[in-house]
Amino acid sequence: MLTTPFTFSLPTRVIFGQPAAEALVSQLKALAAEHVLLVSDRGLAQAGLPERLRAQLAQAGYAVTVFTGVSSNPTTAEVASGLAIAEELGVQAIAALGGGSAIDVAKAIAMLLANGGNYADYQWGNKAITRPSRPVIAIPTTAGTGSEVSKVMVIVDPENPFKKGVLSPLMFAHAAIIDPELTRSLPPQMTAATGMDAFIHALEAYIGKRTNPFTDQFALAAMEIIWQALPAAVADGDDMPARRQMSLAAVWGGIAMDQAGLGLVHSLSGPLTAHLHLHHGLANALILPYVMQFNLPAVAPDRRSRLAGLLGLEAGAGDELIVSALRRFVQGLGLPTRLCELDASAADFAVTALRSGPDWATIAEETTRMVLIGNNPRAASAGDCEKILAQMQ
């Protein structure tokens, strides 16, 4: 039943299933953009993907400059480096090839090209975004972050590592090109982590305070598909039906997340990843069972029943059964459900930091300052967050 007013706006053109280079050429032609900055990350650069796309665009007559100085937790310095290149060359459009990090950096560059100043002006100085960003064409290589259909970007300021996003409806990408073939080579653990990020986008949007009948459809469809397709995509990266399903579900989860908001999982994940340098999706998956144990008493009965059904449980399943199902799902994907299960291959810095004893009280306090926490179905204090963190250890 519709109980509160809501607004839905998604100006991003979603292009699904077309080869990325072919679709990108069509979009650049429509924009009359002759010089393009292609933003990507170091891992994809080593694999040769940005150079391959650059060569395809060059063959089509476009001038393309490649910027691959993007890390897994992108910083303001990386944005400034890419912005300097874009300004010097006078590019007309920004293409982003990669996961959420590359797409967020591209959105930041495009916003600054149109609005001026530096990123800190908007992140900490409350400068208003008043002009539409330079056109961004997002080409995700993972099925998870949803950044290609969101109006948010999250960039870390090394001088103030507290994670604070910048958002504006003027920052939506012009187009999102979803080519599932680009996810084929994603390793199993990254497939699992990014897929869980998409699942949690949908879940938090569905149980959050700002949920509405429109976003519910995206959230429910995304969760249902991910519950079935993610284990298959993790088990066999060449299972293209599963990869296609995951790519579609990630877009739906991203739309639900951007329009209806997130909650305590992502609120905890921000400070935790900042302090321990964990991968965002891995951190979300690890946190999920503990936050759901905390949240379920505040979730409406009809939504709990619908969620239980999606997880393969009886409609009247109790909280413990729902939490256990989620924990088994995460474990079945090969992801940790306790911090002590982290191994150095996945999170070397985190393993070292855990041995020295992180400042859990600070992480808990920072969680309560995350804007996202206001959308959580149950109010959470710093003390509540400390208890959840203790359970995760």
Within 13 A of 190's CA, how many CA atoms are on the CB side?
Answer: 16
Domain locations along the chain: 13-183, 188-392
Residues 334-352 pLDDT 10s? 999 999 888 755 555 555 5
Report the predicted TM-score, pTM, of the whole model to 2 decimal places.
Answer: 0.94
Cβ atoms of residues 23 and 15 within 8 Å: yes
Class of domain 13-183: alpha beta
| 229-258 per-residue burial string, b: 16 or more CB within 10 A, e: under 16 | bbbebbeebebeebbbbbbbbbbbbbbbbb
Residue 206 CB burial class (10 angstroms; 0-12, 13-18, ≥19):
buried
Residue 67: both structure tokens together: 């910027």
Whether residue 44 has pLDDT greater than 50: yes
C-alpha 188/C-alpha 183 separation (Å) is 11
Q: What is the pLDDT of residue 24?
A: 97
Residue 262: both structure tokens together: 């997130």
- Phi-psi domain of 312 (left: phi exceeds 0; alpha: psi -120 through 50; beta: other): left
- Tell which residue, 145, 141, 77, has the closest CA to residue 109: 77
Residue 52, helix vs strand vs coil: helix
- Domain 188-392: give its CATH superfamily: Dehydroquinate synthase-like - alpha domain (1.20.1090.10)
Whether residue 369 has pLDDT greater than 70: yes
Within 13 A of 328's CA, how many CA atoms are on the CB side?
Answer: 9
C-alpha 162/C-alpha 164 separation (Å) is 6
Q: What is the pLDDT of residue 279?
A: 87
Residues 163-197 pLDDT 10s? 788 999 999 999 999 999 999 989 999 999 999 99
